[in-house]
């Protein structure tokens, strides 16, 4: 074994190496440790809104890492808050029959604000408490019993239709330095939040997006227990904030993806080349910077091995979102209309024809999106044939599962169809493309969900023939069991 260097020599050597690195043109490359230690956060607490299966898995995983952060669960109903207070106050995740229990969670109540016609309904003056709000707008209000402590890091695991209602209940606790992570199916949620909840870019929090592929389902009779049925990943990305962008730098195509005749990627003579990737010149300066809260939340989630999280650039994450969206546009609504498991879509010529008609519209809209025009291989990546291969692969892999949209429809809950097929229809209209197949499918799913919701509200199940058809009690019981055992799509 070699002799150790004295501490002073080690310090001198380290400084010498740093100077050498600077002289070799890698001054812009930051050490990972220095990057994460820079600008430490003032508040390590992470709030989790939406304590469903995904929310329980995420909160449970965060409390399992070394030096875990304080985790606060935000409940939306008083009865759930009461049951939590009367319970041992711990979350359990069952994996392959083994239950892992974790404690140390805090809990708060935040009643979702009702919204009608895209407008928030005001609170009852007798039950509302005024809290400090933005100087540019009216003072915010909180219900009695709700916390008014600021939130630095918020993970939203609620279903897409309930994100606006949930954020309305805590918007007075978020400021321009806060960061919000969205973990929902579908697309267009962050844009809707900016429009409806945080219209002012000056006071708008920072956003992060996540794509979850873990399979989790309910455990019968256990409110605070979830079963981790299928291991997956969580793909994370930070959305650039227009407030942090240099206004003097216009949007422009990445020179790395600009083709020139008889040459590969363009090299810059001004910028020193990266030794690890000499063919790709590094940017002169970052057009966006990461805030301390963004760095903290990202690295904290990456530290949780159970979540299998990884981070991606905004263009890469967008393409991954669109691939998952294409799958959900086919599997979710078709299984709702067929009232069948995912495997029913396989080996059926009529359904394959329907699938191809839908994918032709989806592919055309995605390949026409202006935000993808400077990214290479978009045309081939989102080709209808390739998307069909992905859809069939997912349906075959999850053939025994019930899609989350079907599970919601069976019990009369609101579905995420507006953020899946509805997003394709909306973007298609903006681009001058009429997506008739997706529009029809969206309306049929809404119609069936509304029909079942009315039946559930009127005291169905029927035990005899009626105007709406023959619905037996045993069928409803079987469907309830299927819903409890369904995996997240």
Q: What is the mean pLDDT of the chain?
A: 80
* pLDDT higher at 481 or 201: 201
Q: What is the CATH number of domain 314-456+468-484?
A: 1.10.1040.10
Nearest to 309 by CA among 212, 435, 383: 212
Q: How far apart are CA 331 and CA 94, in angstroms?
A: 27
- For the chain, the structural domain boundaries read 46-242+291-311, 314-456+468-484
Q: What's the pTM?
A: 0.78
| Top-tier CATH class for 46-242+291-311 | alpha beta
* pLDDT higher at 479 or 365: 365
Position 65 confidence tier, pLDDT thresholds 50, 70, 90: very high
State the average pLDDT over residues 146-158: 92
pLDDT at 275: 54
Most confident of 57-71, 233-247, 444-458: 57-71
pLDDT at 222: 83
Distances (CA, A) of 349 to 225, 240, 331, 344: 41, 44, 15, 11
Contact between residue 256 and residue 265 where contact means Cβ atoms under 8 Å apart: yes
Query: 427-436 long-range CB contacts below 8 Å, 24 or more apart?
Result: 427/365, 427/369, 428/361, 428/364, 428/365, 431/365, 431/368, 431/369, 433/361, 433/364, 433/365, 433/368, 435/361, 435/362, 435/365, 436/361
pLDDT at 59: 96
**How many C-beta atoms surround the C-beta of residue 353 within 10 A?**
10
Q: How far apart are CA 119 and CA 98, in angstroms?
A: 46
Weakest-pLDDT range from 28-42, 170-184, 219-233: 28-42
Position 478 confidence tier, pLDDT thresholds 50, 70, 90: low
User: What is the DSSP annotation of 161-218?
Assistant: GGHHHHHHTTGGG--TT-EEEE--SSS-HHHHHHHHT---TTTPPEEEEEEE--EEEE
Please check the confidence at residue 10 and state whether its pLDDT lies above 90.
no
């Amino acid at each position: 074994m070699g002799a150790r260097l004295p501490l002073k020599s080690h310090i001198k050597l380290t400084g010498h190496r740093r100077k050498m690195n600077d002289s070799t043109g890698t001054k812009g490359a930051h050490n990972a440790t220095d990057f994460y230690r820079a600008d430490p956060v003032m508040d390590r607490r992470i709030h989790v809104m939406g304590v469903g299966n995904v929310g329980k898995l995420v909160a449970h995983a965060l409390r399992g890492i070394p030096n875990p952060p304080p985790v606060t669960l935000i409940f939306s109903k008083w009865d759930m808050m009461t049951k939590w207070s009367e319970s041992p106050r711990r979350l359990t995740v069952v994996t392959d029959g083994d239950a892992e229990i974790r404690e140390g969670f805090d809990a708060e109540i935040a009643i979702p604000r009702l919204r009608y016609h895209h407008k928030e309904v005001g609170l009852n003056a007798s039950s509302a408490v005024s809290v400090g709000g933005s100087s540019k707008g009216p003072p915010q209000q909180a219900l009695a019993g709700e916390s008014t402590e600021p939130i630095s890091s918020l993970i939203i695991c609620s279903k897409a239709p309930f994100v606006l209602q949930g954020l309305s209940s805590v918007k007075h606790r978020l400021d321009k330095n806060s960061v919000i992570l969205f973990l929902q199916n579908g697309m267009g949620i962050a844009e809707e939040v900016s429009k409806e909840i945080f219209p002012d870019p000056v006071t708008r929090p920072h956003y992060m997006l996540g794509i979850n592929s873990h399979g989790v389902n309910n455990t019968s009779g256990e409110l605070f227990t979830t079963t981790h049925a299928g291991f997956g990943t969580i793909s994370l990305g930070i959305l650039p904030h227009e407030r942090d962008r240099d206004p003097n730098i216009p949007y422009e195509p990445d020179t790395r993806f600009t083709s020139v005749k008889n040459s590969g990627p363009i090299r810059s003579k001004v910028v020193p080349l990266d030794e690890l990737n000499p063919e790709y010149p590094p940017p002169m300066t970052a057009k966006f910077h990461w805030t301390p809260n963004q760095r903290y939340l990202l690295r904290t989630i990456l530290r949780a091995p159970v979540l299998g999280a990884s981070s991606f650039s905004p263009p890469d994450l967008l393409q991954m979102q669109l691939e998952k969206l294409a799958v959900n546009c086919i599997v979710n609504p078709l299984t709702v209309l067929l009232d069948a498991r995912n495997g029913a879509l396989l080996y059926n010529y009529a359904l394959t024809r329907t699938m191809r008609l839908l994918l032709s519209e989806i592919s055309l809209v995605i390949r026409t999106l202006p935000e993808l025009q400077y990214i290479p291989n978009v045309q081939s990546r989102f080709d209808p044939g390739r998307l069909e291969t992905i859809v069939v692969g997912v349906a075959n892999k999850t053939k025994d599962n019930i899609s989350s949209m079907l599970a919601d429809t069976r019990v009369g809950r609101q579905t995420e169809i507006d953020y899946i097929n509805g997003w394709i229809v909306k973007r298609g209209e903006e681009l001058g493309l009429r997506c008739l197949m997706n529009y029809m499918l969206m309306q049929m799913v809404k119609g069936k969900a509304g029909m079942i919701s009315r039946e559930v509200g009127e005291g169905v199940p029927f035990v005899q023939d009626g105007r709406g058809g023959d619905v037996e009690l045993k069928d409803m019981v079987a469907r309830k069991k299927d819903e409890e055992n369904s995996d997240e799509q």
